[in-house]
Each structure stands twice: as C-alpha cells, then as structure tokens.
A and B are shown apart, each in its own frame.
Chain A
C-alpha cells in the first residue's frame, strides 16, 4: 500500500533532482553565452547523491561540501535565485557576488560552503562537530568530498581526529571515479572501494549505489542515526559518475564514450522516475507538473540574476574583517 507520505517524498526527491539537472543545463548554456564566467563544475549525473542524502538530515544539522557544490546547495534548500545570481556575480547572489560557483554559503541554513581547496574543508567539518560535542548538542555534520580528496593528508588527519575525539561527522565520499582527468585507479593505491580505508581509523563505513536516490537516502538515514546516537563518525561512499567534464572547459579526452554510456544508462533521474511510476509512488501527470514547475523556477532564477545589479564598488573592501 503506497501512503500519501511516500508519494510526497517521491515527488520531492524527483523534483529536487530535476531542479538541479535543469538548473545546471541552463548554467551550461549561460556559460557559453558568457553570462557565467570563471570555473563552472557541473553535478549533472550525481544528483541522487546530494538529494538522497540531504532529504534525511535535520535543518539544524551542518552541511559542508567541496567546490562542485550547486547540487548540495539546491538540495539543502538554498534559493535558486540566490545561487544563480551568485554565478552571475551579482550583488543579490548568495555571497553577494564575491564567492562564485565554488564558494556558495548559506549559514542560516547551516550550509557551510562551498570549499575549493581539495580536502581543505574536511578539518573544518571536524571542527564544526567538535563545537557540537563541546556544547552537548546532537547535530550531525554532513561533509561531502570527492575521490580526489582522499589522497590529501587532510583526509587522513580529519578521519583520525574525528574518530579519536568521537565527533559527529558523516564523511560522505562522492566517488565519481575521477579527480579531474585522473582515474581513481591511477590515484589511489587502496583500490576503488575507498570506504574500506575508514577501517584504519575504526570508523564504520559502507558503500552505496549513488545513482539510486532511494538507496542513498536509506543509507544516509541509517548513517545519520548512528552518528546521532553513538556520537562518533561514520563514513559513506556513494558510487556515482559525472556525465559532463570536470568543468565546462573539459573535453573529457581521458575517458571513452562506452564508459560514459554505461553510466548514462543509469541516469539517476530517469531511473527513479521509472521506479516510482512502477511502484505507484508517482503518476505521469505529477512528472509533467514537476517538469513545468522546475522550468519556471529556473527561468525565474535566471530572470532574477539578469535583472540584479553588480556589486557596488564599496563592496570590495567590505567583510575583509569582522
């Protein structure tokens, strides 16, 4: 028997993934038009990870992520307008136009960034968790990072410290098999099942299909529950794939199209759409409605960004110091 709640959840998951997909497809076009500049790293193909994971955390839990952050920001409920305006470098952007694509922040939503030094935000996640524990709270810090970060010293320092001090961090690895053009097989001596390295620090760990939003959300719910009750860290690895290049400037010469096709066949959005239809979790007309709604949200975000002003000159020296 399919409950109304299950239907609402399914529509939410589908709608969020679709929003990220359409939002970023639009970003790609805007980049080609020169409206968005700098680096633009798309999350297309990986939507099930952020959406599944963040669908089961609390509003007062902390979320922190790496530079491929649009998906996490939108899944956390950040305003698409503020995110788009940030990509346009406008004053109405999430960071007033001073952060850019890789540095999105919404502290009110406990979305703590957007960090563009690979591996650099892992110690910060540990520190957020230290503060939670110091105050006797039960919030969880969800920290996303890529397979590239695993080979940084800060990864190991952070796992060690979190485990040593029993801190409430969910280390969430998005293993999309590549760090820029370097395959994990050529970067990580421990093999593809990176989650096993958490063993070295006595951190419970599991791997999940990152193209299956339900699987991600269930695994995350379990992990978060464990962190909240035991207080210590848990490690999750989602196996996923980015359909686009590392950034929009990347022609992806380092991987063959057969590999890409295998993963595209498991597109998280169509996979879930099909599953939800079969299970009666969603109806055809709901999919259509979500399509229209998402399109309008994205169009509205672009309109907002277009119409917003550039940061004024005096913004330059604002907020260097508190």
Chain B
C-alpha cells in the first residue's frame, strides 16, 4: 500500500504502459521538455526519450488524427490533450473518425487510442478554460468515457483504458490531481461500467462522477447532521454507464439527486436521471433531482464562479427542497 495523489497514480499507470508495451507512445503538447501542463509526465522525457514521449505542435486535430493513424497501424498511442476545452479542436477526429472507423469498416479496423485530458472548472480560468465536456463525448457510440474521483480508481481504470482496443476519453479533473488515497502495490484493474458505492445510506441517493463525488460526500456530511443518511454513488465511467447500480440505489432510497459540473441543459445528468425514472419510477417518492452547473459561460470572478459550480450546500438544499428532509 502506498499513499498516492491522483497525479501520481496516473503517472504510475503511464509508466507501466510505456514499460510494458513497445507499441505505446505518448503524444501531446508540452508533455516532454515542459514536463506536462499539469506535471503528470514529469521526468518522462529523460526516462523514455523523444521517440516515446513526443512533444507536438499546438495542433489538436493533427495530434488526435495522427494518433488514430498510428493506432490503425498497430501502435497504442496515448495522447494528452492539455484540457478538454482544446479537445474541441480535435473533436472531428474523435467523433467522425476514431469513434466510427471500426463500425464503418465492418470490423476491419480497430482504434486502440487513449486520450487523456483535463476537465472541470473552479480555478478561475474563465469561460474558455473551465468546461466539463466529457458528457458530450459520452453520447457518442464507439467511444468510452472515464472520469475518476480518487487515486485508487484512477489507476485501476487507467490500466483498463490502456488495454482497451477502443478509443477512450480519460477525463482528469484539474482540481483533483492533488487528492490523496491508498493505492495497493499489487496489480489490480477496474473494469469499465461498474459504479462504486462511496457511502451507504437509506434516505437519499447522490449520484455523480469526478469532483462531484467529493461534493456529494461533503453534502452527505451536511445531511447527516440533519439526520438524513445519504448514499453516494460514483459512476466512474460515463460510457459504458452502470445504470443498474444507480437504479438499485434509487429503488432502495426512493429519492435521488444527480449531480454534475457541466451545464444542466442537455447535460449527462439528464441521461442518468431519465434512466432512473424509467426503471425505478414505482419506487420513487418524488422526481429525480438534478444539480448541475449554471447555464452560463463560466465567469472569472471568484465568487461568481463558485456560484456556477454545484456545492455541498446546493446539493443538501436540493434534497430538502425536493423531499422536505
């Protein structure tokens, strides 16, 4: 057992991948000489050299596209896109190419491409640098989308992502890199599509991913002071989505609030909420609640920005508003 940060657990996963398979190479902006915009790949260039750790120009479309091409030719590229906001410049490659080539070629092609990117707001970086867009990608068949919340999951899911033969978007939250947690020394991996119950409770289910799991845990503490026992579910992967665990928890508690950092309108939380009400309707005491990001471009000013992102207080308030508890 070692205590690692999420940053360290992902770096460990990357090192294992590079050392374990010659077909793995890393590509991205400033991952080498600069050592990574979020310092995940610190030391990699010295340890593995420029053939494996490839600094790229600022060309997101070409980076993703070149990684697709390399994957088609049998390599297993791992791309770092500095933040998910910039992945919009490569979205054509992700959605029109990576996600579709296997299907359109009737299984002749495979695209083992792992795209690591940084998601989330809360650092006062303004509207263009604070988005949580992983939910958009989760609506695309052919892609898999992962959004871990702690170091144990980050490494376990990363190991699965590295060996997956499909394009995977691995969304790392900017504010979670320093989160610490126990990580076993022995090898383990976490399959996609399995949610984790982070806290057991009978009164209400709080469901989210990534940083919203931490918000939910804090909200559960607030609720506990009022005598309300919240169950917290970390979905861990958006696609594949573990609907079953969410529904099971909903059936048990009869009350659900889905939390997401992205805009509420058309957000991924709506999908989760909809599946729950479709499958657990008869067990519910009220509508499935949703707490999401405010429908505005994220503002710079600290207090304004804080009011955009779901907080433990807002989640606890939603529980009392919806269910009178």
Tell me if A319 counts as interface (CB < 8 A to partner B): yes
Q: Contacts of B71 on A, CB cut-off 8 Å?
A: 127
Tell me if B289 counts as interface (CB < 8 A to partner A): no
Q: How far is the CA of A320 from the CA of B167 in the complex (A)?
A: 11
Tell me if A193 counts as interface (CB < 8 A to partner B): no
Is B70 a contact partner of A130 (Cβ separation < 8 A)? yes
Known: A128-B69, A134-B51. Contact between A123 and B62, CB under 8 A? yes
Tell me if B97 counts as interface (CB < 8 A to partner A): yes
Tell me if B311 counts as interface (CB < 8 A to partner A): no
- B50-75: CB near A (< 8 Å → 1, else 0) gives 01001011010111111111111111
Is A99 a contact partner of B165 (Cβ separation < 8 A)? no
Min Cβ gap B165→A in Å is 4
Q: How far is the CA of A108 from the CA of B109 in the complex (A)?
A: 10
Q: Contacts of B97 on A, CB cut-off 8 Å?
A: 115, 117, 120-121, 124
Is B106 a contact partner of A96 (Cβ separation < 8 A)? yes
Is B109 a contact partner of A105 (Cβ separation < 8 A)? yes
The answer, among A112, A124, A126, A134, for a CB contact under 8 Å with B75, is A134
Q: How far is the CA of A160 from the CA of B58 in the complex (A)?
A: 11
Is A120 a contact partner of B69 (Cβ separation < 8 A)? no
Is B67 a contact partner of A127 (Cβ separation < 8 A)? yes
Q: How far is the CA of A157 from the CA of B93 in the complex (A)?
A: 13
The answer, among A113, A121, A130, for a CB contact under 8 Å with B105, is A113
Is A318 a contact partner of B108 (Cβ separation < 8 A)? no
Is A103 a contact partner of B142 (Cβ separation < 8 A)? no
Identify which of B69, B104, B166 gathers the most chain A CB atoms within 10 Å of its CB: B69
Is B106 a contact partner of A319 (Cβ separation < 8 A)? yes
Is B59 a contact partner of A160 (Cβ separation < 8 A)? yes
The answer, among B68, B69, B109, for a CB contact under 8 Å with A107, is B109
Is A126 a contact partner of B69 (Cβ separation < 8 A)? yes
The answer, among A96, A120, A124, for a CB contact under 8 Å with B72, is A124
Q: How far is the CA of A238 from the CA of B165 in the complex (A)?
A: 38
Q: Contacts of B104 on A, CB cut-off 8 Å?
A: 95, 98-99, 103, 105, 113-114
Q: Give the interface size class of chain A.
A: 35 or more
Q: How far is the CA of A94 from the CA of B74 in the complex (A)?
A: 21
Is B59 a contact partner of A129 (Cβ separation < 8 A)? no
Q: How far is the CA of A11 from the CA of B284 in the complex (A)?
A: 75
Q: Contacts of B20 on A, CB cut-off 8 Å?
A: none
Tell me if A200 counts as interface (CB < 8 A to partner B): no
Q: Is the interface of B mostly helix, strand, loop or mixed?
A: mixed
The answer, among B66, B102, B105, B112, for a CB contact under 8 Å with A124, is B66
Is B70 a contact partner of A154 (Cβ separation < 8 A)? no
Tell me if B101 counts as interface (CB < 8 A to partner A): yes
The answer, among B59, B62, B107, B141, for a CB contact under 8 Å with A318, is B107
Is A127 a contact partner of B66 (Cβ separation < 8 A)? yes
Q: How far is the CA of A320 from the CA of B165 in the complex (A)?
A: 12
The answer, among A123, A161, A165, A320, for a CB contact under 8 Å with B103, is A320
Q: How far is the CA of A98 from the CA of B122 in the complex (A)?
A: 43
Identify which of B25, B66, B67, B112 gathers the most chain A CB atoms within 10 Å of its CB: B66
Known: A117-B96, A123-B66, A157-B59. Contact between A105 and B142, CB under 8 A? no
Tell me if A305 counts as interface (CB < 8 A to partner B): no
Q: How far is the CA of A106 from the CA of B105 in the complex (A)?
A: 8
Known: A105-B105, A128-B73, A134-B51. Contact between A153 and B66, CB under 8 A? no
Q: How far is the CA of A185 from the CA of B315 in the complex (A)?
A: 58
Known: A98-B103, A120-B93. Contact between A322 and B110, CB under 8 A? yes
Q: How far is the CA of A99 from the CA of B109 in the complex (A)?
A: 12
Tell me if B244 counts as interface (CB < 8 A to partner A): no
Give the contacts of A77-132 with B (CB-CB under 8 A): 94-99, 103, 105-108, 112-115, 117, 120-132
Closest to A128 in B: B69
Q: How far is the CA of A285 from the CA of B181 in the complex (A)?
A: 81
Min Cβ gap A17→B in Å is 27
Q: How far is the CA of A122 from the CA of B105 in the complex (A)?
A: 18
The answer, among A98, A115, A153, A321, for a CB contact under 8 Å with B142, is A321
Is A131 a contact partner of B61 (Cβ separation < 8 A)? no
Min Cβ gap A82→B in Å is 11
Known: A131-B74, A134-B75, A319-B102. Contact between A161 and B66, CB under 8 A? yes
Q: How far is the CA of A97 from the CA of B106 in the complex (A)?
A: 8
The answer, among B62, B108, B165, for a CB contact under 8 Å with A161, is B62
The answer, among A114, A131, A158, A319, for a CB contact under 8 Å with B65, is A158
Query: In the complex, given contacts A113-B101, A134-B70, A319-B107, what are 17 additional A-B residue pairs having Cβ atoms less than 8 angstroms apart?
Result: A103-B105, A105-B106, A124-B69, A124-B93, A124-B97, A126-B69, A127-B65, A127-B73, A131-B73, A131-B75, A134-B75, A153-B61, A154-B61, A154-B92, A158-B62, A160-B57, A321-B142
Query: Can you spell out 22 A-B residue pairs with CB atoms less than 8 angstroms apart?
Result: A94-B106, A98-B103, A105-B104, A105-B105, A107-B108, A114-B104, A122-B65, A123-B66, A127-B71, A131-B69, A134-B25, A153-B61, A157-B57, A157-B62, A161-B57, A161-B66, A318-B107, A319-B105, A319-B106, A321-B144, A321-B166, A322-B110
Q: Which 3 A-B pairs have the closest CB atoms?
A: A127-B69, A123-B65, A131-B73
Show the binding face of B for A, using Cβ within 8 Å. 25, 51, 54, 56-57, 59, 61-75, 77, 92-93, 96-97, 101-112, 141-142, 144, 164-166
